[in-house]
């Protein structure tokens, strides 16, 4: 078997086209969607993500502001910036790129973002909404995965879904979205015993581990949909959490790059558009 490669780049382009149309209409009616992106420090991967977010804003016809602050920025100064953006009517979404330097509490910064501008869906109020299945914003990476599954006709209903990774950004909300869609969901992590056996039961396997080529072909059920959320740099080259050789066993596989990555940013645009639409009402 050779897996169907799930093309996140093509799907992103299509969805961004739809967002651009809606953003134009909203702008014509007096509200141009606006996103503020904050980067603290010089993490090279974060710099790339932030640049791609700015580019996506331009592609979707959004207004955007970028704040690049030195790594020594105090928590107080960052909180003041977030609060100021919270009051700015031209800004509908605020994103503070994680991770933050160790002296800044990520939770304190997230809590300072007004929930209606929290386009990452990281604020505890939004996390709670996701938990109960009543939400405005979906966390971007898991939402991107769901759109990819839908585009390829893969329905989680009744399926065995295994998520490797339990982060607040990906693993936990991913499990919740699959559960809302009636999947039978298992979350695995670094202390899980018998991980390979559990993975082999998965009809839908989501790898969000942060370790290059962690998922090997022997961990994949023949015909499974394998979703690779990994963005690892090995010798300067971007590679996923799934060994590409898994394509010989899987039915579907998201490539890295070009799978989940572009979808994540597109879902950020979708959330920002939604925030602007709500603000315009």
Q: Which residues bind ligand GUN (CB under 6 A)?
A: 95-98, 120, 140-141, 169
**C-alpha to C-alpha distance for 166 and 178, rounded to whole angstroms:** 14
Nearest position to ligand GUN, beta carbon: 98
Considering the complex, state which of residue 184 and residue 211 has its C-beta at the smaller distance from ligand GUN.
211
Considering the complex, state which of residue 145 and residue 202 has its C-beta at the smaller distance from ligand GUN.
145
Q: How far is the CB of 267 from ligand GUN (least distance, A)?
A: 9
∠ CA 231-234-240, rounded to 5°: 30
Q: Which of 53, 159, 172, 221 is catalytic?
A: 53
- To which residue do tokens 């990520």 refer? 106
Cα of first residue to Cα of last residue in the chain, in angstroms, is 50
Q: Which of 118, 120, 203, 243 is catalytic?
A: 120
At 157, is the secondary structure helix, strand, or coil? coil
- To which residue do tokens 């909203």 refer? 26
**C-alpha to C-alpha distance for 114 and 224, rounded to whole angstroms:** 39
Considering the complex, state which of residue 83 and residue 201 has its C-beta at the smaller distance from ligand GUN.
83
Q: How far is the CB of 53 from ligand GUN (least distance, A)?
A: 9
Largest Cα separation within the chain, whole Å, is 56
Q: How far is the CB of 30 from ligand GUN (least distance, A)?
A: 28
Judged on CB neighbours under 10 Å (0-12, 13-18, 19+), 32 is middle
Residue 208 near residue 163, CB atoms below 8 Å = yes
Neighbours of 276 (CB within 10 A): 26
Q: How far is the CB of 167 from ligand GUN (least distance, A)?
A: 9
> How long a stretch of residues is the chain?
281
Q: How far is the CB of 136 from ligand GUN (least distance, A)?
A: 17
DSSP 199-241: HHT-SEEEE---STT-B-GGGS-TT-EEEE---EEETTEEE-S
Residue 106 near residue 243, CB atoms below 8 Å = no
Q: What separation in angstroms does the CA of 51 have from each of 80, 210, 249?
A: 23, 21, 35
Considering the complex, state which of residue 140 and residue 163 has its C-beta at the smaller distance from ligand GUN.
140
Considering the complex, state which of residue 12 and residue 97 has its C-beta at the smaller distance from ligand GUN.
97
Q: How far is the CB of 128 from ligand GUN (least distance, A)?
A: 18
Considering the complex, state which of residue 140 and residue 162 has its C-beta at the smaller distance from ligand GUN.
140
User: Is residue 53 flagged as an active site residue?
Assistant: yes
Q: Which of 7, 22, 55, 97 is catalytic?
A: 97
The catalytic residue positions are 53, 97, 120
């Amino acid at each position: 078997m050779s897996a169907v490669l799930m093309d996140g780049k093509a799907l992103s382009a299509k969805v961004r086209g739809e967002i651009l149309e809606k953003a134009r209409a909203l702008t014509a009616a007096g509200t141009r969607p606006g996103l503020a992106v904050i980067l603290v420090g010089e993490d090279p991967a974060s710099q790339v993500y932030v640049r791609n977010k700015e580019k996506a804003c331009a592609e979707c016809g959004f207004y955007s502001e970028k704040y690049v602050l030195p790594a020594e920025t105090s928590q107080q100064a960052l909180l003041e910036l977030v609060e100021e953006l919270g009051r700015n009517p031209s800004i509908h979404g605020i994103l503070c790129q994680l991770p933050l330097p160790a002296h800044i509490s990520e939770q304190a910064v997230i809590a300072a973002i007004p929930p209606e501008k929290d386009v990452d869906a990281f604020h505890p109020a939004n996390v709670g909404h996701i938990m109960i299945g009543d939400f405005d914003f979906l966390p971007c990476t898991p939402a991107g995965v769901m759109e990819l599954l839908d585009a390829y006709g893969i329905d989680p209903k009744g399926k065995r879904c295994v998520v490797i990774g339990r982060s607040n950004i990906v693993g936990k909300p991913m499990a919740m979205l699959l559960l809302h869609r009636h999947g039978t969901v298992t979350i695995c992590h670094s202390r899980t015993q018998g991980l390979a056996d559990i993975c082999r039961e998965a009809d839908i396997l989501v790898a969000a581990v942060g370790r290059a080529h962690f998922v090997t072909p022997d961990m994949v059920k023949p015909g499974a949909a394998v979703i690779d959320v990994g963005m690892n740099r090995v010798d300067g080259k971007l590679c996923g959490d799934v060994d590409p050789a898994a394509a010989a066993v899987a039915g579907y596989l998201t490539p890295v790059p070009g799978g989940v990555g572009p979808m994540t940013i597109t879902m950020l645009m979708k959330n920002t558009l939604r925030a602007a639409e709500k603000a315009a009402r």
